[in-house]
């Protein structure tokens, strides 16, 4: 067995959840990120509830998880189809779904929010559950760019609030950024770090700064690529080829922007520009805004800089 396969199999071990103080997780928002977070938590033995806005969104999340689990199972159990089937059904069996947010958080150790990148929407969510969730429950946001302290400000549990920033695709990307604000307690921080390890992720600690580590570098890089296209310096295909073959990136910046979602890229830049209007890297990009206004959001909508089969 290759080392990477051994690492994958070890990370799928349900016993990982036993060593963590966090056994039940509520993931709010079952889109691109939330469904991946729910899947990885369930794969590693945690009980999970996904909360979504309606039944159609729940069905979409379940379908995405099923497809992704098949890819994981194919890699981990390629010679053993009965083990692969068992892994998929056991994992799916740990995932419950709900449209009742307050009901879902009544008995949970961790709430991870992965809804739209909008401070008002996140405030509404956390203020509606603060008095309902148990005292010990940790609240976390998977925000790409909003300050964790700003999101936590509407709650009375700022010591039990932090950032858990995953990367897309969650089942594949090995990193988890653990963000602590000045008010996050040591106990909360340690529990978040332990939980990240129980998921099989490599954790890094980040202060509550814009974009934490990865996005502070990645988002301006994507923005500069779009500005390069706007100036007519090169085509998206050539820029992508250049960065893949000349810099060794797995995806070019336009492929990555489409993969992340052009709406998410725009929300991140808009939020930073509002806060730091003198930073040229964060300035609005007319081409990006135009594509988003036309509903061209990237892979998830079928078209962004490139076209995709839905
Ligand atoms: N679920 C499960 N497995 C998946 C998967 C998914 N959603 N997506 C890919 N895989 C697996 C595939 O099954 C495949 O497995 P094998 O090696 O056994 O064949 C493996 O991952 C590679 O996938 P592909 O062959 O389909 O394609 P690839 O080699 O081009 O890799 C990729 C795809 C992993 C996405 C790679 O292109 C990559 O790493 N891209 C960069 C992604 C990145 O930068 N993500 C961070 C975005 S920024 C962010 O997330 C933060 C934010 O706040 C915006
Ligand atoms: P998405 O649009 O794919 O999914 C968001 C989901 O949240 C949708 O399914 C929507 O129905 C649901 N939702 C909205 N309001 C809700 C509510 N009040 N209650 C329950 N569900 C609700 O978005 P995404 O790409 O998964 O991003 C989610 C969060 O993760 C954002 O904060 C984003 O910045 C962050 N993030 C995104 C990426 C990425 O690559 N896309 C990476 C890391 C972090």
* CA–CA dist 1, 77 (Å, integer): 11
Helix (H) or strand (E) holding 179: strand 175-180
- Residue 18: pLDDT over 90: no
Helix (H) or strand (E) holding 169: none
Which atom of ligand 2 is nearest to 263's Cα?
2
Q: How far is the CA of 118 from the centre of ligand 2 (A)?
A: 10
Is there an atom of ligand 1 within 6 Å of 35 CB?
no
Which atom of ligand 1 is nearest to 145's Cα?
53
Instruction: Calculate mean pLDDT across residues 263-279.
Output: 95
Name the residue with higher pLDDT: 21 or 59: 59
What is the pTM assigned to this prediction?
0.95
**Range(s) of the chain covered by CATH 1.10.1040.10:** 219-301
The phi, psi pair for 96, rounded to 5°, reads: -105, 165
What is the reported pLDDT for 187?
Answer: 98
CATH architecture of the domain with residue range 219-301 = Orthogonal Bundle (1.10)
What is the reported pLDDT for 20?
Answer: 76
Q: What is the mean pLDDT of the chain?
A: 95
pLDDT tens sequence across 34-81: 999 999 999 999 999 999 999 999 999 999 999 999 999 999 998 899
* Number of helical H runs and strand E runs in the chain: 14, 8
Report the DSSP pairing between strands 202-207 and 175-180: parallel
**Range(s) of the chain covered by CATH 3.40.50.720:** 3-207
Out of 3.10.310.30, 3.40.50.720, 1.10.150.570, 3.60.21.10, which CATH number does the structure's domain 3-207 have? 3.40.50.720
The preferred substitution site among 26, 27, 30, 33 for testing ligand 2, maximizing ligand atoms within 8 Å of CB, is: 33
pLDDT tens sequence across 98-150: 999 999 999 999 999 999 999 999 999 999 999 999 999 999 999 999 999 99
pLDDT tens sequence across 224-259: 999 999 999 999 999 999 999 999 999 999 999 999
**Contact between 176 and 145 (Cβ < 8 Å):** no
Nearest CA to ligand 1 atom 27: 250
DSSP category for residue 251:
S
35 is catalytic: no
What is the reported pLDDT for 6?
Answer: 58
What is the reported pLDDT for 64?
Answer: 97
Q: How far is the CA of 67 from the centre of ligand 1 (A)?
A: 14
Instruction: Spot the catalytic one: 215, 225, 265, 301.
Output: 215
**Contact between 239 and 253 (Cβ < 8 Å):** yes
Q: How far is the CA of 183 from the centre of ligand 1 (A)?
A: 34
For the CA of 29, the nearest ligand: 2
Instruction: Calculate mean pLDDT across residues 86-95.
Output: 97
Closest listed residue to residue 133, CA positions, set 51, 37, 34? 51
- Residue 203: pLDDT over 70: yes
Instruction: Calculate mean pLDDT across residues 87-99.
Output: 97
Number of Cβ atoms within 10 Å of the Cβ of 84: 19
What is the reported pLDDT for 309?
Answer: 87
What is the reported pLDDT for 79?
Answer: 82
Nearest CA to ligand 1 atom 29: 250
């Amino acid at each position: 067995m290759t080392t990477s396969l051994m690492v994958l199999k070890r990370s799928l071990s349900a016993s990982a959840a036993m060593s963590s103080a966090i056994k039940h997780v509520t993931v709010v928002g079952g889109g691109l990120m939330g469904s991946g977070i729910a899947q990885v938590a369930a794969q590693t033995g945690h009980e999970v509830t996904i909360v979504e806005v309606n039944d159609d969104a729940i069905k979409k999340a379940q379908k995405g998880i099923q497809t992704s689990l098949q890819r994981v199972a194919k890699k981990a159990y390629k010679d053993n189809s009965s083990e692969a089937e068992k892994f998929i059904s056991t994992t799916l069996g740990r995932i419950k779904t709900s449209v009742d947010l307050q009901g879902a958080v009544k008995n949970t150790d961790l709430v991870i929010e992965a809804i739209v990148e909008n401070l008002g929407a996140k405030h509404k969510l956390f203020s509606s559950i603060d008095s309902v969730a148990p005292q010990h429950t940790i609240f976390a946001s998977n925000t790409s760019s909003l300050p964790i302290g700003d999101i936590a400000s509407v709650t009375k549990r700022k010591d039990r609030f932090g950032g858990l920033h995953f990367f897309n695709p969650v089942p594949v990307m090995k990193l988890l950024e653990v963000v602590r604000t000045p008010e996050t307690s040591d106990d909360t921080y340690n529990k978040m770090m332990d939980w990240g390890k129980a998921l099989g992720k490599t954790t890094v600690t980040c202060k509550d700064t814009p974009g934490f580590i990865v996005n502070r570098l990645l988002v301006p890089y994507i923005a500069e690529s779009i500005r390069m296209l706007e100036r007519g310096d090169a085509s998206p295909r050539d820029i992508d080829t250049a960065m893949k073959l000349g810099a060794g990136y797995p995806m070019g910046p336009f492929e990555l922007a489409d993969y992340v979602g052009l709406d998410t890229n725009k929300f991140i830049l808009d939020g930073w520009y509002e806060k730091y209007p003198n930073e040229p890297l964060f300035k609005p990009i007319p081409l990006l805004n135009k594509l988003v206004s036309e509903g061209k959001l990237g892979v998830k909508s079928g078209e962004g800089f490139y076209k995709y089969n839905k």
